[in-house]
């Protein structure tokens, strides 16, 4: 009597890793990457994991982006804030406002940098202010720009007088910087907003 061979292979009920059981707490997906960058990716992920363990509130968004919504809408009141006595009649919400929509026009081209020094005080930029910088905006004269001068970052107003490119300070106590061929300058982007704590 000839017996048929037992069927093997295929999916088995209950086999495999359960959904959401990875270190990320969600379903993962395999991707194809060049072999040459695998060590760099592993190092990056390991570094993010360590940072998230050391400072969870600050770095958890890097390791677990799904836990942090990209859009947070907060109430926007219609009445403007006056220095005098407030009017109760204006105390109602017109709509909600997402600061991402207000401050960031092109997310892929935007980054943040913290200001240092007092050379731009008259432009409303104070030490430790956070600057919103857009790399997609053309750095034309009159714009406040973030640029690297011989490898060091600075924020100044870009000016062009008689064909001379100058990085102008907004504080009379500081000198302007005239760009010449001996200075290596790379403009990183244009400052669009300043986040200033009071």
Give the pLDDT score at 58: 46
CA angle 59, 62, 67 (to 5 degrees): 95
Annotated catalytic residue within 4, 7, 18, 119 = 119
Beta strand 185-195 with 144-149: parallel, antiparallel or unpaired?
antiparallel
Percentage of the chain exceeding pLDDT 90: 31
E strand or H helix at 41: helix 38-54
Task: Tell me the sheet residues that pair with 73.
Answer: 98
How do the domains of the chain map onto residue ranges?
A: 35-67, 73-103, 107-195
CATH code for the structural domain at 107-195: 2.10.109.10
Q: Which segments of the chain are extended strands (E)?
A: 73-77, 93-98, 110-114, 130-134, 144-149, 152-161, 164-168, 177-178, 185-195
Rounded CA separation 103/174 (Å): 29
**Span 10-31, pLDDT tens digits:** 556 666 666 655 555 667 778 8
Give the pLDDT score at 8: 53
Please indicate whether residue 164 is annotated as part of the active site.
Answer: no
Q: Are 4 and 10 within 8 A, CB to CB?
A: no
**Span 77-93, pLDDT tens digits:** 666 666 665 555 555 56
Rounded CA separation 194/111 (Å): 12
| Residue with more model confidence, 24 or 113 | 113
| Mean pLDDT of all residues in 152-160 | 93
Annotated catalytic residue within 29, 49, 60, 156 = 156
Please indicate whether residue 156 is annotated as part of the active site.
Answer: yes
């Amino acid at each position: 009597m000839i017996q048929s061979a037992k069927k093997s292979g295929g999916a088995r009920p209950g086999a495999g890793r359960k959904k959401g059981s990875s270190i990320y707490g969600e379903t993962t997906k395999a991707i194809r990457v060049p072999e040459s960058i695998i060590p760099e990716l592993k190092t990056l992920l390991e570094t993010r994991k360590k940072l998230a363990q050391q400072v969870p509130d600050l770095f958890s968004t890097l390791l677990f982006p799904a836990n942090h919504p990209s859009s947070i809408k907060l109430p926007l009141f219609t009445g403007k804030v006056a220095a005098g006595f407030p009017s109760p009649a204006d105390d109602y919400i017109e709509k909600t406002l997402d600061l991402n929509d207000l401050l960031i026009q092109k997310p892929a081209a935007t980054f943040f940098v913290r200001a240092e020094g007092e050379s731009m005080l008259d432009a409303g930029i104070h030490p430790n202010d956070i600057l919103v910088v857009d790399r997609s905006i053309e750095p034309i004269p009159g714009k406040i720009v973030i640029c690297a001068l011989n490898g060091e970052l600075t924020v100044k107003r870009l000016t062009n007088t008689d064909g001379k490119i100058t990085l102008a300070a907004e504080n009379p106590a500081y000198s302007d910087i005239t760009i010449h061929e001996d200075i290596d300058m790379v403009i990183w982007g244009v400052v669009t907003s300043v986040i200033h704590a009071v």
